[in-house]
Structure 1
Amino acid sequence: MKPAIRYEIFPAAPEAHLFDVTLTVEQPDSAGQVLSLPVWIPGSYLIREFAKNIVTLVAEDADGPLAVSKLDKCTWQVAPAKGALTVRYTVYGFDLSVRTAYLDQTRAFFNGTSLCLGVVGQLDAPVAVELHAPSGKEYRDWRVATSLKPLKAKPYAFGSYTAANYDELIDHPVELGDFTLIQFKACGVPHDFVLSGRLPRIDSKRLARDVKAICEYQIKLFGEPAPFDRYVFMTFVSGDGYGGLEHRASTALMASRDSLPQPGETGMKSAYRQYLGLISHEYFHTWNVKRIKPAAYAPYPSAGEAYSRLLWAFEGLTSYYDDLVLVRAGLIELDSYLELLSQTITGVLRTPGHTVQTLEDSSFDTWIKYYRPDENAPNSMVSYYTKGALAGLCLDLHIRRQTGGKRSLDDVMRTLWQRYGRDFYEGKPVGVPEAAWEAVAEEVTGLALKPLFDHFLRSTDALPLQESLAEVGIQWQARGQVGAADKGGWLEKSKPSGVWLGARMGSDSGLVKLSHVLSDGPAMAAGLSANDVLVAIDGLKASQANLDAALVAAKPGDKLEVLAFRRDELMKFKVKLEAAPANTVGLKAVEDDAAKLEARKAWLKR
């Protein structure tokens, strides 16, 4: 039986970055069909106005053209049709991110939220999608990578695919091009690893082996079978790409060339470790966000914001598990994990906003703060990803300690999976109510956790990180930053902390430009502001090198004379330098207590 709603997608003009889309509605609304495009994509909490990329739109029925009127920024009303309705529209796609759509002569990528208009009133109806190759012999080697179910298409071939409804349609991105395909099975389930872009030589076997270890650990953590029949990783590789966006049976990723494993490499370089952590993060979302999700996202309100105070649990706890899984799966050693953890802690402590905004408020305000940062963002907000991960660490270690190792955060996650996630797409979807997450944690652990949640989520008081880590034999080192490249980590030999400026810097045509001025630092006290361009430091032309040299040579109390342009006005500042705050953290495992060593082994599963 032919689906009542069908899309045909043509990469019509790669050189102009234009997709042509034909939408056929067999039984349109007799009063006139309303069509709408989402304004945001799940997993990226910002109103992105995808409709702005629709260039032209026309409609017709068997008798000819139909009038189309726009109701608002993302909604169209078509005049009543006789019989089937056909809508043809063109979409501009030239955003290299994982969130929208892209087309040129080398590849095509799209999310359904950018290309597929929703048929209002029939969003629960099955749909079919016909994918076409661009015209021309230069595209003869292009293939299709998607987790959409084929209707008539052969594997990786152009043709027809199907989805049970519109929500499923927009949750399976599509990659088109001459890509590299790596295949493996995890817990018996086929996984495709797709790499597009200009690739270096890579160690495909190592990549498959390492990613398989991540997948199998996570599947077993929540319990077999996996919640999908097949999974697709899609990575666009470029010079400096990084990012990811989760979907129910796939993920879209961006990675730099130097983050991929090279033939002959045996160690774990930091760029590859970061890439594996990204893969782990997005794959964990298969359970935590795509199926266990806040009630506000069940279903997603595609026409506007969806407010939840639970993103600390869905993004933050996913961030806690992403690197932890690398240890538990045997991909990195403990010292490597502690380096990553120390850098996360350092990043939060160096952000003054962690004493201003709570985790619940950070979650709720993501639409106007986290995804829309400005020059004052570090002073006014905290990331629910990073601080949420640290809250998850403290919560996990607290549960383990208070239950004598009988319960952990793993048990809470498995219960949430069984109660809210496992059958999410099998019947009427049910999300986690605002108060339910904490209630489940108390039920599973048998602990009275409200005071802890009040502390972690609803106050700006410091998390008990040092104390929690000490219970599993992790030593804490707090010190001042040593040089601009110091992101945190253990120093065996202490170095003088020196002074700090209290500003973050970027580059503007080779000049030093202040990107952020921190609220607790000397730069703000002196009157410097974000976007000031430094001209001279103590009479010498400003550069990152001589600024670093001046800070290394200075002592607390010394003053720097800084000349800077603010807009087109030259201004002079006297900056009284202060000792660098002890907000750089290093972590080191110690072996001097058998009970703590056993607790650490139980936590890390090794």
Structure 2
Amino acid sequence: MKKTITTKRQGTTISASEHALVYSIVPKDLAGHLYQVTLDIATPDEAGQVVSLPAWIPGSYMVREFARNIVQIKASSDGKKVALKKLDKHSWQAAPCKGPLRISYEVYAWDLSVRAAHLDQSHGFFNGTSVFLSVHGQEMNPHVVDIQRADDAACKTWRVATALPELKARRYGFGTYIAANYDALIDHPVEMGDFALATFDAHGISHDFVVTGKVPNMDMDRIIADVKKICETQIAFFEPRSKKAPMDRYVFMTMVVGEGYGGLEHRASTALICNRNDLPVKHQPEMSDAYRGFLGLCSHEYFHTWNVKRIKPAAFAHYNLRQENYTSLLWIFEGFTSYYDDLMLVRAGVIDEAAYFKLLAKTVNMVTRGSGRTKQSVAESSFDAWTKYYRQDENSPNAIVSYYTKGSLVALGLDLTIRAETAGKKSLDDVMRAMWQKFGRDFYERSLTGKQQGLAETEFESVVEQATGVNVRRFLDKHARGTEDVPLAKLYADFAVLVNEGTANKKASLGVRVVRDGNDCKIANAHEGRAAHLAGLSAQDVLVAINGLRVTAADAGDSLSAALGRYRVGETVQVHAFRRDELLNVSAKLQTDDVPAVSITVQATAKTGSVARPSFQRLVKNK
């Protein structure tokens, strides 16, 4: 194992030497959803080698206890059994041994998501955090992985998709791959199966688009054309002169299911999951809302290649994967990414301005509907992601705010503020490029020497001022560290953009969100201060009847709306509901249906003397 891998862009040399840690992983039991993993440690710690599996995966801020999926584990040296002592929920220590140490274990993989591992007869997928033990004290050594084909007829035509550099494997083939260190190993997910594959270049960098799952008449050519535009727009955004991407190759891995949506970013790839109907169909050129949403997901995860994978909060510069890593800055890393994901669609020419403002209005309305935004700031939401945002319950709309959605509005507000203060000469774009230059461009090169750095908790304001000359402390005190709504109507006024607050829906409402639960119409959320809450109803209550007429389970929301459609706002109705096994009978005074819906439009002409129109065009079109 003397082969050397040299990446062309980053100039990093990875040598597979006698000090490399060697893993093998094979789908052992497709129906049982088991991977067999072996780890060979050439020079184990003489005092007894400690190994552990991460408790969480970067990009998803919740402790998930991946080690719970290890079904059995054992150790040996030169064919002889070595005792393993479990130290805590995810760590083991092998007894001291003189020779090389082999650890063998099985991993149960039945989590169909972007965060963990999944295996059955249709495909295999895993993130390294779910399957690869970390060898304490040797995390900076090269890591070699032998991805093996399963001895099963269902796998004869399977291929491998990953951004890991090949060592002794052909691209898309089974064989050995290599990573510079453990952090790199777990940042390259792997998909294996019979997937659809298309490849395109974006500013000279090869991009693979992989789709696993059945999608009749999928228009792959259209997907590739649109995603290529998005990728090239983002590469040029961060490196407008050189148009140099920070990776040598990129892989989009998309798992198609009947119902699902999500993505997780990695340094040279992303894992996506989407509905079958999200993807375009051949000979249907119209842009559906579902496909537009999928492109937004691709744009979001790709933007993370720069923002959070390389430009990081200081708390993430050196991950501690055994416990929570706290930062109050996720509103910058997720919120700003959420702002730019749709903006990049219109800059790339994939959608038009009208579609962009429709998406923006949807975000504004989503944020405004939750009363939690008046109680929790996006900075607090970021810090509490581990316990609140990623562990939402029935009361979450009344208690928390999303650092994704409100964070994107904070980003927009900052952008408009900077443009107004500088007469359009500077923008949030300049801030993002400044952070890229300072923190991101050489992040992984510096990581090999332990000298990487991230954005400190109190550093963002000075970065903005250095990049633009604008002091944004007051704005952030109000809208990022405070709970005030971003005054978009006021900020947009100078940019020939109208934020129109429509009238509230006049239909009678209980102020709840309901879901179908078996044969029941169950309250999922009871919004604070709304009719149901004031009447004493709660989340998890099962609605039975309104004024003696049954509320059915079929299409729960439609059934409730139909039942309430017989009444006017202000009328009082009798609601029967079950709380556990106890029947409730309450009086509820009906209110209007939720809050006024915002719409956003561009004026035909700007105000006299306004610099807004040219500046606005630069905002949307990047000109």
What band does the TM-score fall into relative to the shorter chain? Answer: over 0.9
Q: Which amino acid aligns with 2:340?
A: Y
2:260 is the alignment partner of 1:256: no
Is the 1:60–1:81 Cα contact (8 Å) retained in structure 2? no
Distance apart, 1:500 and its partner CA: 2.6
Q: How does 1:130-279 map to 2 (within 5 A)?
A: 130-223=146-239, 224-279=243-298
Identity among equivalent pairs (%): 50
The aligned residue for residue 40 of structure 2 is 24
Q: How does 1:474-489 map to 2 (within 5 A)?
A: 474-482=497-505
Whole-Å separation in 2 of the counterparts to 1:12 and 1:455: 55
The aligned residue for residue 424 of structure 1 is 443
Q: Which amino acid aligns with 2:512?
A: A
Distance apart, 1:71 and its partner CA: 0.3
Whole-Å separation in 2 of the counterparts to 1:505 and 1:514: 4
Residue-by-residue CA offset, 1:376-434 (whole Å, 9 max, x unaligned): 11111000000000010111011011101110000000000000000000112211111
Whole-Å separation in 2 of the counterparts to 1:481 and 1:132: 59
Whole-Å separation in 1 of the counterparts to 2:405 and 2:508: 26
2:91 is the alignment partner of 1:75: yes
Decide which of 480, 494, 516 is 1:457's aligned counterpart.
Answer: 480
Whole-Å separation in 1 of the counterparts to 2:504 and 2:127: 42
Distance apart, 1:561 and its partner CA: 1.0
Partner SS state of residue 129, structure 1: strand
Q: Which amino acid aligns with 2:570?
A: G
Decide which of 569, 576, 580 is 1:563's aligned counterpart.
Answer: 576
Is the 2:476–2:482 Cα contact (8 Å) retained in structure 1? no
The aligned residue for residue 401 of structure 1 is 420
Is the 2:36–2:107 Cα contact (8 Å) retained in structure 1? yes
The aligned residue for residue 442 of structure 1 is 465
Decide which of 35, 50, 58 is 2:66's aligned counterpart.
Answer: 50
The aligned residue for residue 589 of structure 1 is 602
Q: Which amino acid aligns with 1:402?
A: E
Two-structure CA RMSD over aligned residues (Å): 1.2
Whole-Å separation in 2 of the counterparts to 1:505 and 1:466: 32
**Which stretches in structure 1 are left out of the alignment for 5+ residues?**
483-496
Q: How does 1:28-107 map to 2 (within 5 A)?
A: 28-62=44-78, 64-107=80-123
2:311 is the alignment partner of 1:292: yes
Distance apart, 1:137 and its partner CA: 3.0
Q: Which amino acid aligns with 2:75?
A: A
Q: Which amino acid aligns with 1:392?
A: A
Decide which of 504, 514, 525 is 1:505's aligned counterpart.
Answer: 514
The aligned residue for residue 589 of structure 2 is 576
Distance apart, 1:138 and its partner CA: 2.7
Distance apart, 1:579 and its partner CA: 3.0
Distance apart, 1:481 and its partner CA: 4.9
The aligned residue for residue 388 of structure 2 is 369
Q: Tell which deviates more after alignment, 29-38 or 596-605.
A: 596-605
Distance apart, 1:200 and its partner CA: 1.8
Distance apart, 1:460 and its partner CA: 1.1
Is the 1:480–1:581 Cα contact (8 Å) retained in structure 2? no
Decide which of 424, 428, 432 is 1:413's aligned counterpart.
Answer: 432
Decide which of 323, 335, 344 is 2:363's aligned counterpart.
Answer: 344
Whole-Å separation in 2 of the counterparts to 1:161 and 1:91: 20
Q: Tell which deviates more after alignment, 426-435 or 307-316.
A: 426-435
The aligned residue for residue 339 of structure 2 is 320
Q: Which amino acid aligns with 2:386?
A: W
The aligned residue for residue 348 of structure 2 is 329
Partner SS state of residue 474, structure 2: helix
Partner SS state of residue 15, structure 1: coil
Distance apart, 1:598 and its partner CA: 2.4
Whole-Å separation in 1 of the counterparts to 2:79 and 2:351: 65
Whole-Å separation in 2 of the counterparts to 1:240 and 1:535: 28
TM-score (norm 1): 0.96
Q: Which amino acid aligns with 2:476?
A: F
Whole-Å separation in 1 of the counterparts to 2:573 and 2:135: 63
2:534 is the alignment partner of 1:525: yes
TM-score (norm 2): 0.93
2:551 is the alignment partner of 1:542: yes
Q: Which amino acid aligns with 1:468?
A: L
Whole-Å separation in 2 of the counterparts to 1:118 and 1:254: 27
Is the 2:109–2:117 Cα contact (8 Å) retained in structure 1? yes
Is the 2:369–2:595 Cα contact (8 Å) retained in structure 1? no
Partner SS state of residue 458, structure 1: coil
Is the 1:591–1:597 Cα contact (8 Å) retained in structure 2? no
Distance apart, 1:340 and its partner CA: 0.8
Partner SS state of residue 228, structure 1: coil
Distance apart, 1:49 and its partner CA: 0.1
Whole-Å separation in 2 of the counterparts to 1:39 and 1:12: 24
Whole-Å separation in 2 of the counterparts to 1:570 and 1:137: 55
Q: Tell which deviates more after alignment, 54-63 or 144-153.
A: 54-63
Q: Which amino acid aligns with 1:267?
A: E
Distance apart, 1:63 and its partner CA: 5.4
The aligned residue for residue 493 of structure 1 is none
Distance apart, 1:240 and its partner CA: 1.3
Decide which of 548, 551, 568 is 2:564's aligned counterpart.
Answer: 551
Whole-Å separation in 1 of the counterparts to 2:75 and 2:115: 27
Q: Tell which deviates more after alignment, 201-210 or 269-278.
A: 201-210
Partner SS state of residue 391, structure 2: coil
Is the 2:125–2:192 Cα contact (8 Å) retained in structure 1? yes
**Which stretches in structure 2 are left out of the alignment for 5+ residues?**
3-16
Whole-Å separation in 1 of the counterparts to 2:592 and 2:296: 34
Distance apart, 1:480 and its partner CA: 4.6
The aligned residue for residue 466 of structure 1 is 489
Distance apart, 1:351 and its partner CA: 0.5
Q: Which amino acid aligns with 1:178?
A: D
Q: Which amino acid aligns with 1:535?
A: V
